[in-house]
Structure 1
Amino acid sequence: MKIQSKVVLLHRFARSYATTGGSTVQHVAKFEGVPPQSTIFSLIQPTGNIHLGNYLGAIRSWKELSESDSPGSKFIFGIADLHAITLPKDPQTLKRFRHEAIASLLASGLSPEKCTIFHQSAVPEHTELSWYFTCITSMGNLNRMTQWKSKAQQVQNSSIYDDRVMEATKAGVLCYPILQAADILIYRATHVPVGDDQSQHLELTRGIANTFNHTYKTKFFPIVKTLLTPSKKILSLRNPSKKMSKSDPDQNSCIYVTDSPEIVAKKIRKATTDSIQGPIYYAPEERPGVSNLINVISGLTGKSIDEVVADLHWVKDHKQFKDHVTELIVEEFRENREMYQRLTADISYLDEVCARGRDNAREIASANIAQVRKLIGMD
């Protein structure tokens, strides 16, 4: 079954949102266009092949945004390779992952003609601005962030002021939300499309922008708006109590954009469901595995959960249900998979795209950092 209609992904933007007024969090529901003169920005970590959760949670929305007709708007997307080394990686593996991540973005439909695609580390202004922000950010704000605790393998009520926790936590893991703020604000981004798990970091970004503007009596940094992507978090196929992850030791839990139709079918067949017979319905607590697959269908078709469940009225058993999910995934990734294979075999083209993106990004970042230096007396 081929998906005929264009998937509707993104929020209806009022034109007034081109300014700093309005709500700072917007749910992405219906796409009608990006306000003129916007700057849309987001990064993804280089973890190798893009999996289904990455694709539905971020990249597909990036593609739809970048294809909008919005006079004067900029679309800046890239690879967060500096964030990738908060936990050290094998150098050769990291290099390969960086190339694969760029190939995945291109294979997923991002066009270097419509948006800037680059490696974060190629633009040194990110780290310069990060230091300026570090000097105005309190330890209390960093301690309240939740993701550093999971990265440092600490429980959520852990405190950096505990000697044991402090000893076990690298400074980069604690401070990387400041670098995230610098990533966004070095381009004076107006909107950042993210999933629910990054909402807290964008609150910190808004706080840092406000602190900087207040400290230096300026309105230089805009108050960036969160665009919550429409897809719910895609969970592990084998253990739907945790999110889909490449690092999962059970590789049947994760579907990649590059998986063959046969591998996709095998993984979906092995996906955890339940023993409940009869109609398919959405109940994350009662039926986490079935509900996870409903989320996948919702993300692929752009339909609401209720619409998906209504469409599944014909499904008689789990086999039919899983076959339907398999068909949708295989069709969605057919062209992506073929293009990815061509791109990863052409490193020179990937390097060319990155060089062009670096130059475009640096042109914006260097002008903005010059203004920041002037504001703080570093010019």
Structure 2
Amino acid sequence: MIRLSGITPSGEMHLGNYLGAVRRWAAESGPEDLYFVSNLHAMTTHHEPATLRRLTRHQLAVMIAAGVPGDAVFVQSDLINEHMALTWLLECTCTFGEARRMVQFKEKSDGRESVRLGLLTYPVLMASDILLHGAAEVPVGNDQNQHVELARTLARRFNANYGDAFVVPRGVLPETAARVRDLTVPEKKMSKSASDVGGIIYVLDEPDTIRRKLRRAVTDGMADVRYAPDEQPGVANLLEIVAACTDTSPTAVADGIDSYRDLKEAAAEAVIAELGPVRERALDLLAGGGELDKIRSAGAERARDRSRDRLANALHLAGVD
């Protein structure tokens, strides 16, 4: 069974991405699973080409450095011919109404006079990602589940109209992972698009930077170290970070700490210890260039080989071979 997961290079990878997804991919990867950098998805709004190129390499390097198997990783645009060919078939299978009903399109286009067509059609590209690689399961949160449902709809419709070409995937909730929130606004999750970088710990941050950010993390005036997410979100966030990095529980972490200062120091030590080896390996990959390029090229070729027959069959069934 194939599971497929991707990450969009809309910003540098941060602690939330790492703990919530990438570390789990490294630990739980199955022999058929695939993980990709979805750089084409980062083009639905204005972007700088040089920045997109840099962030794509950055994401790939961190994934490899974190232990995601190199033979399971690829970059989406390295298979652009395959992805675009299937996207066109699926756009000719999807209706305008189905695309327009996607919640994320409604939210991101609301109140704007002009939006890019890619924002409307990108769920079809996502369906292409899933169906091209034969994924049976797609771990997604609730915000993306509607897109997986569209992929299911398009797979069934194409199979019914033209013949069996695609596995009908299903969305699955990922295993419970750390919910890392912004250090300065703990009511919000840590996000690559946040305007205040002081609340974000990036995977490639230097240890001194990590310490500084955590020392400035918002807590409260209670001076009481306990795990109460609703009442003390800032303290709870720090406890969850330590717990995730040390494989324990937030409550257990709280039992051994008496002050907010000690909590912040414990968080800094835990994060630095967790990210240190990943940072060092990723920087080596980015500096060397050659090894990362070889991994990327080999990953693309393996992904292409695995999808070639599936795409050829779909094109044949649709009458465009």
Question: Structure 1 length normalisation: TM-score?
Answer: 0.78
Partner of 2:49: 91
| 1:270 CA drift (Å) | 0.9
1:118 maps to a residue whose letter is: F
Of 322, 329, 332, which residue of structure 1 is paired with 2:271? Answer: 329
More helix as a share of residues: 2
Among 117, 131, 154, the residue aligned to 2:88: 131
Q: Secondary structure at the match of 2:229?
A: coil
Q: Which residue of 2 aligns with 1:28?
A: none
Match of 2:61 among 90, 98, 103: 103
Seen in structure 2, the aligned counterparts of structure 1 residues 309 and 191 have a Cα distance that, compared at 3 Å, is same
Q: Tell me if 1:43 matches 2:6.
A: yes
Cα distance in 2 between the residues matched to 1:183 and 1:48? 21
Residue in structure 2 matched with residue 53 of structure 1 by the alignment = 16
C-alpha RMSD of matched pairs (Å): 2.1
> Structure 1 residue 353 and structure 2 residue 312: aligned?
no
Partner of 2:164: 218
Length, aligned pairs only: 320
Post-superposition shift, 1:82? 0.8
Shift of residue 329, structure 1, vs aligned partner: 0.7
- Cα distance between partner residues in 1 of 2:103 and 2:221: 35
Structure 2, unpaired ranges of 5+: none
Retained in 2: the 8 A contact 1:42–1:76?
Answer: yes
Supply the AA of the counterpart residue of 2:74.
F
1:151-172 CA distance string (max 9 Å, x none): 43x2xxxxxxxxx65x422110
Which residue of structure 2 lines up, in the alignment, with residue 118 of structure 1? Answer: 74
The alignment-based identity, stated in percent, is: 35
SS of corresponding position for 1:77: strand
CA pair 320-224 structure 1, distance change in 2 beyond 3 A = same
> Aligned partners of 1:335 and 1:143: how far apart in 2?
44
Query: Is 1:291 the equivalent of 2:255?
Result: no
- 1:44–1:79 CA contact under 8 A, matched in 2: yes
- Contact between 2:225 and 2:260, CA under 8 Å: does it hold in 1? no
The 8 Å contact of residues 75 and 300 in structure 2, kept in 1 or not, is answered as yes
In 2, Cα distance between equivalents of 1:278 and 1:253: 22
The 3 A distance-change label for structure 1 pair 370 and 135 is same
Matching residue's letter, 1:320: D
Equivalent position SS for 1:240: coil
2:3 is paired with a residue whose SS is strand
Specify the alignment match of 2:120 in structure 1: 174
Aligned-pair distance for 1:301?
4.0
- Report the CA distance between 1:340 and its aligned residue: 1.5
With 167-176 and 293-302 compared, the bigger mean Cα shift is at 293-302
2: CA distance, partners of 1:145 / 1:226: 19
Three-state SS of the structure 2 residue aligned to 1:49 is: coil
Q: Indicate the SS of the match to 1:275.
A: coil
What is the CA deviation profile of residues 294-331 of structure 1, one whole-angstrom value per residue up to 9, with x for unaligned ones? 3323433445xxx4214421222212222222221111
Q: Find 2:258's aligned residue among 305, 316, 330.
A: 316
Instruction: Provide TM-score, normalisation by structure 2.
Output: 0.91
> Would you say 1:145 and 2:102 are equivalent positions?
yes
Distance 1:134 1:298, change over 3 A: farther
Matched residues in 2 for 1:248 and 1:308: separation?
Answer: 25
